[in-house]
């Protein structure tokens, strides 16, 4: 069973990379990252609601009035992460953006385990866990430096203060993902229905990003979402919602079982391996980027660090 859980964590990390590629395509069709995020999260909510109805899990929503309010806030992380990816990829490049997400994820997951936050069991990091986390972060640093030395085609140049703001956004967007998993795990325990908890999380996420979209439209800070180009979008452009639903649901089920640090290490590894394949093959109509020696070294460090973390 433990091996199955580890494999599941690796798989949902792969889905996170596919989600990012699909999101970029959806954003290109809709014309605004906030509109694309609203559409994707709405689709994920609808999908989960159908699954909950089929499984007879919607009755658990009747327990919501007895749930502490902060248990419902895990969904706030999804619009932040999804919109950040759409905003950061063209400005910092895919690998640099993912590297920031990873740094935020690893830092937050270690804090969750160390302090037993949000009801998680305390897991004092031993030398192996620290070494493994350092390996994962080291792998990311090597990959980013390799990308910078080779140049990052297609990125948008920013001033130094603006770049610092984008870097901070990337770290914050990564850090909220493990926190989201921990909060949603508490919600799942209260409702005693994981799918119902996922429906609540994505409903909150969809409502939040929709309000942001309406506010920005009222202030004329973002374009009106386009719907006509969606007719010509390839089928895989719609995969983002399903991938998001699988990732969020999977993480809050896995974190209480195998720990936040192990879950994040494995999802990060799956994400990076799939991202490398997408870059190398030019999948999802993205620019093809060769697997250079620095990137291969970074991936090797990621794998070694992830293995060390999950064996600790």
Q: Which domain holds residue 85?
A: 2-311
* Inter-residue contact 115 to 122 (CB < 8 Å): yes
Picking from 141, 114, 154, 117, the residue whose alpha carbon sits closest to that of residue 130 is 114
Q: What is the reported pLDDT for 151?
A: 54
* Inter-residue contact 205 to 76 (CB < 8 Å): yes
Mean pLDDT by 10 residues, the chain (312 residues): 79 87 88 92 94 93 93 92 82 73 83 80 71 76 66 54 81 91 90 93 95 94 91 90 89 82 81 81 77 77 70 58
The Cα 229–Cα 179 span in angstroms is 35
Mention every residue, 6+ apart, whose C-beta is less than 8 A from residue 157: none
Instruction: Supply φ then ψ for residue 263, to 5 degrees.
Output: -60, -45
Q: What is the reported pLDDT for 204?
A: 96
Q: How many domains does the chain have?
A: 1
Q: What is the reported pLDDT for 271?
A: 82
pLDDT in tens, 92-121: 766 677 778 877 888 888 888 888 888 777
The Cα 67–Cα 179 span in angstroms is 18
Instruction: Supply φ then ψ for residue 170, to 5 degrees.
Output: -60, -45
The pTM for the full model equals 0.81
Nearest-10 Cα torsion for 187, 193, 196, 198: 60
Q: What is the reported pLDDT for 213?
A: 94
Coil/strand/helix, residue 79: helix
Say how many CA atoms lie within 13 Å of 37 toward its Cβ: 28
Q: What is the reported pLDDT for 158?
A: 55
pLDDT in tens, 207-240: 999 999 999 999 988 999 998 999 888 999 999 9
């Amino acid at each position: 069973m433990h091996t199955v859980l580890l494999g599941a964590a690796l798989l949902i990390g792969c889905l996170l990379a596919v989600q990012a590629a699909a999101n970029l395509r959806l954003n290109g069709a809709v014309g605004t990252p906030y509109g694309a995020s609203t559409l994707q999260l709405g689709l994920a909510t609808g999908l989960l609601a159908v699954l909950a109805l089929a499984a007879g899990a919607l009755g658990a929503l009747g327990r919501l009035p007895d749930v502490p309010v902060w248990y419902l806030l895990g969904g706030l992380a999804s619009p932040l992460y999804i919109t950040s990816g759409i905003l950061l990829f063209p400005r910092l490049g895919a690998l640099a953006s993912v590297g920031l997400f990873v740094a935020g994820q690893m830092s937050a997951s270690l804090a969750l385990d160390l302090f037993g936050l949000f009801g998680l069991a305390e897991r004092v990091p031993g030398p192996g866990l620290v070494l493994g986390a350092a390996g994962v972060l080291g792998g990311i640093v090597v990959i980013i430096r390799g990308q910078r030395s080779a140049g990052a085609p297609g990125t948008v140049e920013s001033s130094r203060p603006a770049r610092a703001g984008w870097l901070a956004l990337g770290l914050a967007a990564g850090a909220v993902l493990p926190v989201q998993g921990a909060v949603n795990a508490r919600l799942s325990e209260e409702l005693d229905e994981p799918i119902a908890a996922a429906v609540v999380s994505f409903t909150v996420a969809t409502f939040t990003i929709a309000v942001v979209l309406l506010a920005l439209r009222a202030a004329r800070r973002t374009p009106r979402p386009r719907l006509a180009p969606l007719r010509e979008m390839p089928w895989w452009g719609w995969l983002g919602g399903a991938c998001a639903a699988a990732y969020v649901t999977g993480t809050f089920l896995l974190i209480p079982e195998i720990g936040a640090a192990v879950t994040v290490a494995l999802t990060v590894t799956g994400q990076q391996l799939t991202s490398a394949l997408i870059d190398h093959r030019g999948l999802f109509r993205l620019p093809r980027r060769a697997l250079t020696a620095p990137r291969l070294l970074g991936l090797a460090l990621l794998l070694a660090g992830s293995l060390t973390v999950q064996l600790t």
